[in-house]
Chains A and B, each alone.
Chain A
Amino acid sequence: MNAYMPYILCMILFCIGVYAILAKRNIIKIILGVVIAEYAVNLFLVLVAYKAGGRSAIFSETEVILPGAMVDPLPHALVLTSIVIGLATTAFLIALAIRLYGKYGTFDITRMRELRG
C-alpha cells in the first residue's frame, strides 16, 4: 500500500477542494476550493510521471545521461499548459467575484440568489 501513499494524499487534497466548492457559501472560499482541486490534479499527474532515482528530463554536454534514466517528460509538458490555463480561469473567476461584490455588496452566494430580480 505504501506504493500508492502519495496518490492517496493527493486524493485527500482534491476532496478538500471539492468539499469547499460544494459546501461553502462565500464565493472567495469557492474560488479557493477550485484552486486547491486544480493543484491536486496537477500534483497527481506529476506524481504519476515520477521515476524512482530518475533525473530531470534535461540532457547535458559534459555528462552522459541515458533517456531511460529520466522521469517521464510528457506529463510535465501538459501540466505546464494546465497551470497557465488554471491561472487564466482563476483570474476570470476573481473578476466575476469582484463584479458581483460591487453589484450585491456581499460574497454570500445564497443572498445573491435572493436579491435576483
Chain B
Amino acid sequence: MIELYVLMGLMIAGAIIAIEVKNLLSAVVAVGVIGLALSIIFLLLKAPDVALTQIVVEIVAVILLIRATLHREIAQKSCGHRPFGALMGILFLGLAVIAAIVTFASGLNPFGEPLMTVSQFYPVNAISGTGATNVVSSIILDYRAYDTLGEATVLFTAVIGVLTVMRSVGKKKEEDLQENNE
C-alpha cells in the first residue's frame, strides 16, 4: 500500500499549501488537488462509487470557490492569523493526539481488518433481498433509502438557502421603497 501513503502525503502537502499560500486562487487550486487525490485513494480502497461522487463534487466545489475568489482584487492580500485561534489550534492538536492514543489503545480495528459485525448482513442478503448486484447501491436505495431521502432534503434546503442569500430581488424592492419615501 505504498501508493496510499504517497497519495496521503500529497494530500497533507496540498492542505498545508492551501492553508499557507498568499494567493486565494492558488489555495483553491490546491484544495482541488487534495480532492482529486482523495478520489484516487477511494479507488485504491475499493470504493468506486464514492470515488465517482468525490470527483463530481470536487469539481463543482472548486468551480464555486473560484467563483467566490475570482475578480477580487483582495485575492492577493493575505489577512494573517488570529493569535488566540492559533493557540486554540495547538491545544486542539494536543487533545486530538490524546484521543487518538486512547482510541488506538482501546481497540480500533487495525487498517485492513474491518469489524463486519453488522454490515456482514448487506453483502450476504443484497442479491436475494433487493436484486441489486452493487451492494452499495442496494444500501443507499433500498435498505437505507430514508437516509437518501434526508440527503435530498438537505441538498434542496441548501439550494433554497443559496438562492435566498444570493438573490437580488429583495434589494431592488428596498431601493424602490426608499425612492418612494423620498
Asked if B159 lies at the interface with its beta carbon under 8 angstroms from chain A, I say: yes
Chain B interface residue count, CB cutoff 8 Å, equals 89
B50 and A46 contacting across the interface, CB-CB below 8 Å = yes
Known: A74-B119, A77-B140. A39 touches B35 (CB 8 A): yes
Instruction: Tell me the nearest residue of chain A to B27, going by C-beta.
Output: A32
B155 and A84 contacting across the interface, CB-CB below 8 Å = yes
Asked if B154 lies at the interface with its beta carbon under 8 angstroms from chain A, I say: yes
Q: Which of A8, A43, A51, A110 contacts B82 (CB 8 A)?
A: A110
Known: A46-B47, A49-B47, A59-B135. A16 touches B15 (CB 8 A): yes
A111 to chain B, nearest CB (A): 9
Interface hits, B49-92 → A, CB 8 Å:
49-50, 53-54, 57, 60-61, 64-65, 67-69, 72, 74, 78-82, 85-86, 88-89, 92
> A17-56: contact bitstring with B at CB < 8 Å (1 yes, 0 no)?
1111011111011011101100100110011111110111
A59 and B133 contacting across the interface, CB-CB below 8 Å = yes
A15 and B93 contacting across the interface, CB-CB below 8 Å = yes
How many CB-defined contacts (below 8 Å) exist between A and B? Answer: 262
A72 and B5 contacting across the interface, CB-CB below 8 Å = no
Q: Bound complex: CA of A22 vs CA of B136, how far in Å? A: 36
B91 to chain A, nearest CB (A): 9
A77 to chain B, nearest CB (A): 4
Q: Bound complex: CA of A61 vs CA of B24, how far in Å? A: 49
Asked if B124 lies at the interface with its beta carbon under 8 angstroms from chain A, I say: yes
Q: Bound complex: CA of A8 vs CA of B53, how far in Å? A: 25
B45 and A22 contacting across the interface, CB-CB below 8 Å = no
**In terms of DSSP, what is the predominant structure of the interface of chain B?**
helix
B81 and A73 contacting across the interface, CB-CB below 8 Å = no
A90 and B53 contacting across the interface, CB-CB below 8 Å = no
- B residues less than 8 Å from A20 (CB atoms): 19
Asked if B151 lies at the interface with its beta carbon under 8 angstroms from chain A, I say: yes
Q: Bound complex: CA of A11 vs CA of B97, how far in Å? A: 9
Q: Bound complex: CA of A3 vs CA of B111, how far in Å? A: 5
Asked if B174 lies at the interface with its beta carbon under 8 angstroms from chain A, I say: no
A110 to chain B, nearest CB (A): 7
Binding site for B on A (CB under 8 A): 3-20, 22-26, 28-29, 31-33, 35-36, 39, 42-43, 46-52, 54-61, 67-68, 70-81, 83-92, 94-99, 101, 106-108, 110
Binding site for A on B (CB under 8 A): 1, 4-5, 8-9, 11-12, 15-16, 18-19, 24, 27-28, 31, 34-35, 38, 41-42, 45-50, 53-54, 57, 60-61, 64-65, 67-69, 72, 74, 78-82, 85-86, 88-89, 92-93, 96, 100, 104, 108-116, 118-120, 122-124, 126-127, 133-136, 139-140, 144, 147-148, 150-151, 154-155, 157-159, 161-162, 165-166
